[in-house]
């Protein structure tokens, strides 16, 4: 047991807490990092890393099925357990970067226990009491398991358990058609499972519906059954024989069940009342600077109740470093935060969707478009599904939606433009190497200017006049 005094105490060693701890200690702050479960948090152990590894296995299997480019198709021999071994090996390869040993080597004091507040300025973890100048709640979120009648008596998985499954599901039923549900649907159908997705509203409902439709059509062609606008009303059965009845009376049967309906903030263990920290339904209540109702306590990442992405937690780390360590004014914003669903084709968004932008800007909005089918690299690789649309107001991009191969990489240029208030001309002036998918961004930016140049009678008149004058 020890009484520890420090500059910064971080509760939670997920992606945000780790980024903050590494930055703070290397800038000279004394840092205590508390983690009661796994270093690396959800992203490394149950989220971004294992899901992308499993998707990669599915992509390899799917490539064998195609009859294109003069290559005969074959039926892939899928070893589901070996695919899970690949997932485990990817986690193991990345884990040292997030390990206790690495952070202790940087100078962080790591305490492996659950932390809770015992006063506005003290946290207890195991037998230690930590008094800090500033605290940061970085405890993340966990899968939400809704109170569907019968669910508590039926075996089911969440993202925290699905990657431990070794026997391939015969028929996986997924409740929830968001990014997690759709990524797992595609990974499993490509690895030889039957898959049914049940979504109470619209699948991929937070994304532009035109762009999402490209992904959903592709998944349906691969064999995923997607049921939209239906709530799961009753669940029954046992391992290997599970039944989900929707609110229209339709019964869907399968061997396994995955719940992917959303997330809940991890705040139950923190005893936040003792710290005077207010909460909301979505997590810890914070201001624009990520401070809570206790001015000595910050919250970041999923638990702060905003966008739930690993890169948001990393972004929050920079906000808190400027404020808590350097005493500089610093506010978080969301308008430049991109997100990606790593399906095939990928689906990416930053800023406003077309519907949101039209509601905000009305007739002042211009939507510039470019199709994947017009990109030579996409044609050469047979990845012509999808395209991009950029929402532009007063010459500046306010949102971009992309669906297609490499959408997650392509969205970065628009995140950069929105973050820095650049005009669309900055992208149009860019020279992209040929042939690359990156030319798609330049083509979309050019589409904004094309009517102004090619459909403008004044421009044509000026060109004719200049041609008469030039020697």
In DSSP notation, 305-323 reads TS---HHHHHHHHHHHIII
* Low pLDDT (below 50) residues in the chain: none
pLDDT tens column, 137-191:
999 999 999 999 999 999 999 999 999 999 999 999 999 999 999 999 999 999 9
Q: Can you give the length of the chain in residues?
A: 471
CA distance 406 to 399: 18
Q: Look at the domain 151-261 and name its fold.
A: FAD/NAD(P)-binding domain (3.50.50)
Token pair of 402 as six digits: 């992309």
From the candidate CATH numbers 1.10.10.1200, 1.10.10.60, 4.10.93.10, 3.30.390.30, the one assigned to the domain spanning 338-452: 3.30.390.30
Q: Look at the domain 2-39+99-143+264-325 and name its fold.
A: FAD/NAD(P)-binding domain (3.50.50)
Quote the pLDDT of residue 454.
Answer: 66
The alpha carbons of the chain give a radius of gyration, in whole angstroms, of 25
Domain boundaries, the chain: 2-39+99-143+264-325, 151-261, 338-452
Quote the pLDDT of residue 5.
Answer: 97
Quote the pLDDT of residue 90.
Answer: 98
User: Do the domains 151-261 and 2-39+99-143+264-325 match in fold?
Assistant: yes
Under the phi-then-psi rule, with left for phi > 0, alpha for psi from -120 to 50, and beta for the rest, what region is 23?
alpha
Quote the pLDDT of residue 470.
Answer: 85
pLDDT tens column, 418-463:
999 999 999 999 999 999 999 999 999 999 997 776 677 777 777 7
Token pair of 465 as six digits: 């006049």
Vertex 171 angle, CA 167 and 174, to 5°: 105
Element (H, E) at 52: helix 48-65
C-alpha dihedral sign at 379, 380, 382, 386? negative
Judged by DSSP in three states, 226 sits in: strand
pTM: 0.94
């Amino acid at each position: 047991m020890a009484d520890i005094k420090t500059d910064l105490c971080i509760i939670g060693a997920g992606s945000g807490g780790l980024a903050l701890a590494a930055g703070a200690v290397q800038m000279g702050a004394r840092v205590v990092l508390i983690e009661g479960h796994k270093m690396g948090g959800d992203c490394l152990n149950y989220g971004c890393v294992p899901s992308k590894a499993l998707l990669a296995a599915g992509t390899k299997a799917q490539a064998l099925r195609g009859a294109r480019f003069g290559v005969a198709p074959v039926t892939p021999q899928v070893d589901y357990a070996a695919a899970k071994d690949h997932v485990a090996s990817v986690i193991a390869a990345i884990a040292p970067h997030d390990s206790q040993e690495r952070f202790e080597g940087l100078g962080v004091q790591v305490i492996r226990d659950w932390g809770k507040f015992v006063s506005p300025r003290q946290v207890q973890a195991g037998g230690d009491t930590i008094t800090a100048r500033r605290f940061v709640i970085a405890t993340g979120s966990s899968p939400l398991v809704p109170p569907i009648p019968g669910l508590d008596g039926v075996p089911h998985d969440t993202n925290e358990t699905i990657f431990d499954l070794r026997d391939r599901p015969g028929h996986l039923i997924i409740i929830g058609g968001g990014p997690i549900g759709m990524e797992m649907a595609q990974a499993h159908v490509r690895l030889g499972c039957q898959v049914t997705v049940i979504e109470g509203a619209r699948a991929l409902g937070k994304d532009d519906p035109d762009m999402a439709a490209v992904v959903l059509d592709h998944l349906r062609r691969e064999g995923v059954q997607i049921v939209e606008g239906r709530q799961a009303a009753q669940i029954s059965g046992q391992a290997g024989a599970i039944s989900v009845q929707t609110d229209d009376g339709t019964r869907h049967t399968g061997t396994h069940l995955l719940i992917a309906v959303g997330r809940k903030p991890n705040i139950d263990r923190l005893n936040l009342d003792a710290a005077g920290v207010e909460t909301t339904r979505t997590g810890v209540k914070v201001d624009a600077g990520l401070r809570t109702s206790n001015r000595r306590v910050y919250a970041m990442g999923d638990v702060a109740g905003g966008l739930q992405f690993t890169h948001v937690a990393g972004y929050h780390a920079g906000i808190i470093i400027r404020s808590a360590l350097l005493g500089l004014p610093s506010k978080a914003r969301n308008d430049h935060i991109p997100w990606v669903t790593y399906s095939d084709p990928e689906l990416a968004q930053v800023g406003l969707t077309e519907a949101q932008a039209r509601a905000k800007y009305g007739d002042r909005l211009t939507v510039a478009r470019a199709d994947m089918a017009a990109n030579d690299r996409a044609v050469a690789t047979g990845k012509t599904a999808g395209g991009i649309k950029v929402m532009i107001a007063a010459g500046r991009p306010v949102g971009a939606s992309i669906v297609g191969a490499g959408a997650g990489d392509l969205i970065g240029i628009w995140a950069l433009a929105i973050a820095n208030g650049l005009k669309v001309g900055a992208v149009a002036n860019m020279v992209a190497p040929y042939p690359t998918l990156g030319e798609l961004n330049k083509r979309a930016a050019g589409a904004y200017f094309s009517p102004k140049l090619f459909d403008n009678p004044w421009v044509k008149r000026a060109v004719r006049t200049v041609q008469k004058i030039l020697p």
